[in-house]
Amino acid sequence: MMAIVNRTPDSFYDKGATWAEDKAFERVALVAGQGAEIVDIGGIKAAPGVEIDAAEEKSRVVDFVARVREAFPQLVISVDTWRAEVGDAVCAAGADVLNDAWGGADPELVDVAAAHGAGIICTHTGGATPRTRPYRVEYDDVVRSAIDDTVAYAERALAAGVPREGIVIDPAHDFGKNTFHSLELTRRLGEMVETGWPVLVSLSNKDFVGESLDLPVGERLVGTLAATSVAALAGARIYRVHEVVETRLTVDMVNVIAGRLLPKRAIRGLQ
């Protein structure tokens, strides 16, 4: 489980609930206690909004990463950034992974990850400019595009010196996509899994869930967990989430059904 921790005042989901550093730290403690193995710390919301330069982004995340690193030495720290300058600073502060949600918009980010021995998450955005919404985006085959782009990014990261075990691919639901694209990626996620690269999915409360069910943010948990079940059955490995406990139970149940895990307790019919 990768738990989302927003150091922003304007997150689409929590509306700034963890903008204050101490509130963000409480969130880290909560999700770590719930069993999240990774926290993903972000200093800029993905949607359009007030321009945040690299200096401001660093002010939001660098010292916070250092604080989390000191308090939780075993926790894997990911930072959601597309900027090499920010990536360098957070890795120096103790981050383990750079989550490039904008698909290589800054080509030097892989070199930063390699220089620090950090992992990197390679996403597919169809070449979208950071912090822009999709508008009439078209793909001949969105899954083929996602596979080609993320695998090429992963291979570039490997060639740059990023450890193979630290490279993950992500179809990036909603990013550079409409709802039908995100649904197609969910249905065919197994094709990404078949590449051999570990697959991360970020489904939590996304617009494709909201549009599918005509539900606002805050009422999308059931739809998120349904999409999570499909992704889990297909073999996704990492889940970037707001709700750790509910997602863990969903993924574990799917994996028990799939025969990847044993039931925690199975005495029915034996006593």
Residue ranges of domains in the chain: 2-257
Note the pLDDT of residue 13. 85
Q: Is the pTM of this model over 0.85?
A: yes
What is the rounded distance in angstroms from the CA atom of residue 44 to the CA atom of residue 126?
20
Specify the CATH class of 2-257 in words.
alpha beta
Note the pLDDT of residue 257. 98
What is the rounded distance in angstroms from the CA atom of residue 138 to the CA atom of residue 126?
9
| Intra-chain end-to-end CA distance of the chain, in Å | 35
Residue among 60, 177, 188, 240 flagged as catalytic: 240
What is the rounded distance in angstroms from the CA atom of residue 148 to the CA atom of residue 123?
11
Q: Is 206 in the active site?
A: yes
230 within 8 A of 209, measured Cβ to Cβ: no
Residue among 177, 188, 206, 220 flagged as catalytic: 206
> Under DSSP, is residue 212 helix (H, G, I), strand (E, B) or coil?
helix
Mean pLDDT, 10 residues at a time, over the chain (271 residues)?
95 89 98 98 93 97 98 98 98 98 97 98 96 95 98 98 98 98 98 98 98 97 98 98 98 98 95 84
